[in-house]
Amino acid sequence: MPLHPLLVHFAVVFVILAALGQIGAVLVPRVRHWLGWVQPAFSAVTSLTVLLTARAGDELLSTHLGHADQDHQAALTHAGWGETLTAWVLVFLVLVVAFWLVASTKIGPERLRHPVVKWVIGGLSVAVSAVLLFLVFMTGDTGAASVWGQ
């Protein structure tokens, strides 16, 4: 049995939880304190899950589908959204770790922990969180369309 249909459910839930967690961590200091190091660690697990899911999807695409039919075109559209999601989840991970370092730790020079730096990185991470929520929706929608039809 292909792994992609199983892994995709973990990836969807993890992306949504990580994105919402980051939005909360940036906007509500109490949430940031409560999540602590769990937010960057969970974001790393989320990124790994998305990477594994994309790889399993690539294997499924190459081994189980024809190359000229409409179903294959729908699967290619889904794969394109999945590749985009994979790239953005890595950008998200970098921003989450950077935000955690500047907002929750004493690591690095004081100037990097300046409130302006914290809010710029935080704002970027919130924007990327919104992008991830959109991308996970589009990837899932096109994936469902490729399996269940238009």
Task: For Cα atoms 60, 64, 66, give the angle at the middle one, nearest 5 degrees.
Answer: 125
Tens digits of per-residue pLDDT, 51-84?
999 999 999 888 866 555 666 788 899 999 999 9
DSSP at 37: T
Q: pTM value?
A: 0.92
Closest C-alpha among 43, 34, 33 to residue 98: 43
Indicate if the alpha-carbon torsion angle 12, 139, 28, 103 is positive or negative: positive
pLDDT, one tens digit per residue, over 37-48 is: 999 999 999 999
Q: Give residue for tokens 């200091």.
A: 29
